[in-house]
Amino acid sequence: MLNIALPKGRLGDRAYRLFAACGFPCAAMEQEDRRLVLTADNGQVQYLLVKPSDVPIYVEHGAADAGVVGRDVLLEGGNDVYELLDLGFGACRMCVAAPLNFREDLSAPLRVATKYPAIAKRFYAGKGREIEVIKLNGSIELAPILGLSDVIVDIVETGSTLKQNHLEVIETVLSISARFIANRAAAKFKPGELQPLIAALQAAKGEII
Amino acid sequence: MEQHGEARREQLMADLRTLYESLGYKRFSMRRFEEYALYLENKNFLKSDSVLAFTNPDGKLMALKPDVTLSIVKHARPERQGVEKVYYKESVFRLAPTAREFVEIDQMGAEAMGAVDRYTASEVVRLAIESLRAIGEPYVLEVSHMGFASGLMEAAGLTPEQKERFFSLIRRKSLHELRQAVNEEGVAEPYAGRIAALADLSGPFPETLARARAIAPAGPAADALEELESLYSLLAALGLDDHLLLDFSMLNDLDYYSGVVFQGYVQGVPRVVLSGGRYDPLMRRFDKEGDGIGFALYLDELTRLLADRPTWDADVLALYQETDNPIQVNAAVFALVAAGLRVFAATEPPAGFRAEKTLRLNGADFTEVP
């Protein structure tokens, strides 16, 4: 049996629909069950429902053989896993956003508020720009309004939250979508289960968007 | 009877020591620290940049060893005896894989340096296989050759930066991002497709080798496949091919490794437990004559695997009374121990203590409590 970590929430719901279409439906999953471990109807897959940022941790430590996670979480965590497939859905961008008509003061370090300090540091290090990272856990858009930071690095889907808070995208850091990841050892010991699943996901992913 | 993970690990280490010594590998002992400069100059050889450093009384920056192979190669004197074979069991100090915290890790390994011929190389690979087998089945030894990927990239005329970018994506088997990167870097066909194929080029030895042959340009890449083929036929002839996999996504640093590289996995451990390969460029860096091949076993990864889940704190809880004769108690307790039982002797059961059996002293012997 394969243990698959799915992120709770919208991304996980979509991922589950994809697995169901690949032949692993789970009746309990469709009935608002509150359990965190659910077995697919055919008994070949066990779904673990975890916090999105914990998915790569479960997979790296082998508590799950595989999982579905956004590229943002994967790059932020830097976990040592195989990243086997781009599932295509959950597409959005990680961007730098600033107040309208923002002019950058190049004589001082840029203050960046973000939920993704590792990604922000790497992005600005690549440009040779010194920054001061302010790690926040939510409502990032508030930071530049209150003068807590100059810019924010955050995920942008439609851009409407930014607009309502008088912010605009000034740069794209990276593009994001859902990834199918696997534990390194599981890939060696369970190829007979993983390979057909990857092939099925590859074939079905175009249809479930 | 239950055995603790620690006891089993010690047994395993003793077995491995006997194995290495019976093939003439000499124990290599060393201090716990080296000059920090050694690790600074060879940063890419280490798995992580973080080194635990301190200043010695002369003001020199020292480091607690994060790695053993560098020290062994530095002190190697292979020119004296053709090939020098050593093994070690040492502590190394590294960042824990899960937290930003230094931990002391037990490592064991074997190295052959100097005139490494085909037999010696196969001996080290076989030792790696025997070491994995000693830990337990099922295990997998995953093999690759640095010359294949580097030869392919050389033939495509890539810059070191491009190579580094592709290497990190190949290691993650990130086929989709690799395709995109190859495209962005403007790599021409047929090399674009061939480099992208590296992320996915893994599986049983003979078929994966055949798939690799189909995309190998003449030169170092083709030579690498020759060498893999000859290693495989040697191991197959010895009946050691059951647990072999070929995976070209496994890549070490080119400044240190050339030739065959390998990694071992055992079922039940989510991470690599053995890692090694041919490190001729490392020997060159230290101006040593000849070549080198070796491997390290990460023993800390094994403790939990080797442990039984402890159900009981002891096999027997042996109860006596303050008024009992201590000579009798002593003799009776040690009689139980001699029978192979784990015994905890006390007048009262300690809080929360769980033993498989509770016995009470009755005359000269412990007997079941009714």
What are the angstrom distances between the C-alpha of B129 and each of B9, B124, B203, B243, B260?
A: 18, 9, 18, 9, 14
Residues B40 and B53 sit within 8 Å (Cβ to Cβ): no
A182 and A161 co-located in one domain: no
A158 and A189 co-located in one domain: no
On whether any CB of chain A is under 8 Å from the CB of B161, the answer is no
Rounded Cα distance between B273 and B261, Å, is: 14
Name which residue leads in pLDDT, A15 or A206.
Answer: A15
pLDDT, tens digit (0-9, with 9 covering 90-100), for B291-302: 999 999 998 888
Angle, to 10 degrees, between the axis of helix B5-22 and the axis of helix B118-135? Answer: 160
- At residue B350, the pLDDT reads 87
On whether any CB of chain A is under 8 Å from the CB of B17, the answer is no
Q: Which of B97, B140, B174 sits opposite A189 (nearest CB)?
A: B140
Q: Which residues pair with B297 in a beta bridge?
A: B108, B274
Residues B116 and B222 sit within 8 Å (Cβ to Cβ): no
pLDDT, tens digit (0-9, with 9 covering 90-100), for A82-125: 999 999 898 999 999 999 989 988 899 999 999 999 999 999 99
A188 and A118 co-located in one domain: no
A23 and A69 co-located in one domain: yes
Rounded Cα distance between A11 and A177, Å, is: 10
What are the angstrom distances between the C-alpha of B113 and each of A157, B78, B79?
A: 56, 6, 9
On whether any CB of chain A is under 8 Å from the CB of B172, the answer is yes
On whether any CB of chain B is under 8 Å from the CB of A199, the answer is no
A82/B140 CB distance under 8 A: no
A86 and A181 co-located in one domain: yes
Buried b (16+ CB within 10 A) or exposed e, B290-310: bbbbbbbbbbbbbeebbbeee
Residues in chain B within 8 Å Cβ distance of A82: 172-173
A189/B269 CB distance under 8 A: no
Rounded Cα distance between B332 and B336, Å, is: 7
A30 and A86 co-located in one domain: yes
Half-sphere CA count of B356, side-chain side, radius 13 A? 11
- At residue B31, the pLDDT reads 85
Residues in chain B within 8 Å Cβ distance of A184: 265, 270-272
Rounded Cα distance between B77 and A168, Å, is: 64
Burial of B99 (0-12, 13-18, 19+ CB in 10 A): exposed
pLDDT, tens digit (0-9, with 9 covering 90-100), for A50-64: 999 999 999 999 999
- At residue B309, the pLDDT reads 62
Identify the three-state secondary structure at position B156.
coil
The kind and range of the H/E element at B89 are: strand B83-95
B242 Cβ contact list (under 8 Å, min separation 6): none
B184 Cβ contact list (under 8 Å, min separation 6): none
The whole-number average pLDDT for the span B344-369 is: 87
On whether any CB of chain A is under 8 Å from the CB of B204, the answer is no
CB atoms within 10 A of CB A174: 13
pLDDT, tens digit (0-9, with 9 covering 90-100), for B36-49: 888 888 887 877 77
A185/B270 CB distance under 8 A: yes
A83/B245 CB distance under 8 A: no
A52 and A150 co-located in one domain: no
- At residue B4, the pLDDT reads 64
Least confident segment among A139-148, A200-209, B148-157, B191-200: A200-209
| ipTM for this prediction | 0.84
How far off is chain B from A40, nearest CA to CA, in Å?
23
pLDDT, tens digit (0-9, with 9 covering 90-100), for B174-230: 998 999 999 999 988 889 999 999 998 999 999 999 999 999 888 999 999 999 999
- How many folded domains does chain A comprise? 2
A14 and A86 co-located in one domain: yes
Identify the three-state secondary structure at position B55.
strand
B240 Cβ contact list (under 8 Å, min separation 6): B126, B129
Q: Which range of residues forms the domain containing residue A144?
A: 92-174
Residues in chain B within 8 Å Cβ distance of A86: 176-177
Considering only CA atoms, give the Rg of chain B: 26
To 10 degrees, the CA torsion angle through A169, A170, A173, A174?
50
Question: Across chain B, what does the average pLDDT equal?
Answer: 88
CB atoms within 10 A of CB A5: 28
Please name the residue ranges forming H helices in chain B: 5-22, 36-41, 69-75, 118-135, 146-155, 160-171, 175-184, 191-197, 205-213, 220-237, 280-285, 303-306, 326-338
Beta sheet of A45-50, edge-to-edge order? A37-39, A45-50, A2-7, A66-70, A178-182, A82-86
How far off is chain B from A144, nearest CA to CA, in Å?
30
The whole-number average pLDDT for the span B322-334 is: 91
pLDDT, tens digit (0-9, with 9 covering 90-100), for A6-33: 999 999 999 999 999 999 999 888 887 7
Q: Which of B176, B267, B270 sits opposite A86 (nearest CB)?
A: B176
- At residue A86, the pLDDT reads 93
Interface mutation target, options A65, A184, A195, chain B, most CBs of B under 10 Å: A184
Distance from CA of residue B302 to its chain's centroid? 10
A79 and A104 co-located in one domain: no
Return phi, psi of residue B276, to 5°: -170, -170
* Model pTM score: 0.84
Residue B16 — very low, low, confident or very high, per pLDDT cuts 50/70/90? very high
Identify the three-state secondary structure at position B353.
coil
What are the angstrom distances between the C-alpha of B331 and each of B325, B327, B364?
A: 10, 6, 8
Q: What percent of chain A has pLDDT over 90?
A: 77
Residues in chain A within 8 Å Cβ distance of B173: 82-84
A147 and A80 co-located in one domain: no
DSSP string, A101-157: T----TTSPEEEEES-HHHHHHHHHHHT--EEEEE-SS-TTHHHHTTS-SEEEEEES
A66 and A98 co-located in one domain: no
- The answer, yes or no, to whether residue B254 has pLDDT greater than 90, is no
Specify the length of chain A in residues. 209
The kind and range of the H/E element at B84 are: strand B83-95
CATH number, domain containing residue A164: 3.40.190.10
What are the angstrom distances between the C-alpha of B261 and each of B21, B249, B258?
A: 23, 11, 8
The whole-number average pLDDT for the span B240-263 is: 90
Q: What percent of chain B has pLDDT over 70?
A: 95
Residue A209 — very low, low, confident or very high, per pLDDT cuts 50/70/90? very low
A55 and A7 co-located in one domain: yes
